[in-house]
Amino acid sequence: MSGIVLALFASPSFAGTSVRFASDCVHPGARPKTVLISCGDGGLYLTGLHWRNWGHAQATAVGTAHRNDCKPFCAAGHFHDYRARLRLGDIGYCANTDRMQYRRVTVRFVGAKPRGARTFSLDYGCGFAT
């Protein structure tokens, strides 16, 4: 019996559990085409996402990142486009939605990048119940 339990926890795929992600910082969904990274001010979001490995321990996508340069300040700034890779991980149970969700985001700018780090990660959380 313990071998069955170990096999469940060792499985690299959660595909049967309908894993979701709160891509707009609120509503969980699957394979979003758009992801808002900067929930507070909307200064970074990704569009045109094409997903691989959705439902596995890590899901990845490529798309276009839109980043506000905040010059001279964020409200008057301009958005610039960059190629980017998005990786979701840290699948866990979210009680507020009663679902398994990705809760960690990593963004990597490919080629040209905005000022700052090429790669960064953040804990994204569960969003709110819909």
Residue ranges per domain, the chain? 15-123
Look up residue 104 and give its amino acid: R
Euclidean distance between CA atoms 17 and 8, whole angstroms: 12
Q: pLDDT-derived band of residue 10, with 50, 70 and 90 as boundaries?
A: very low
| CA–CA dist 107, 83 (Å, integer) | 10
Token couple for 40: 């507070």
> Which of these, 98, 38, 34, 85, lies nearest to 59 by C-alpha position?
85
Convert the pLDDT of each residue in 14-45 to its tens digit.
Answer: 444 589 999 999 889 999 999 999 988 899 99
Q: What percent of the chain has pLDDT over 90?
A: 73
Instruction: Share the mean pLDDT of the chain.
Output: 87
Residue matched to tokens 């609120």: 26
Residue 97: its pLDDT value, please? Answer: 87
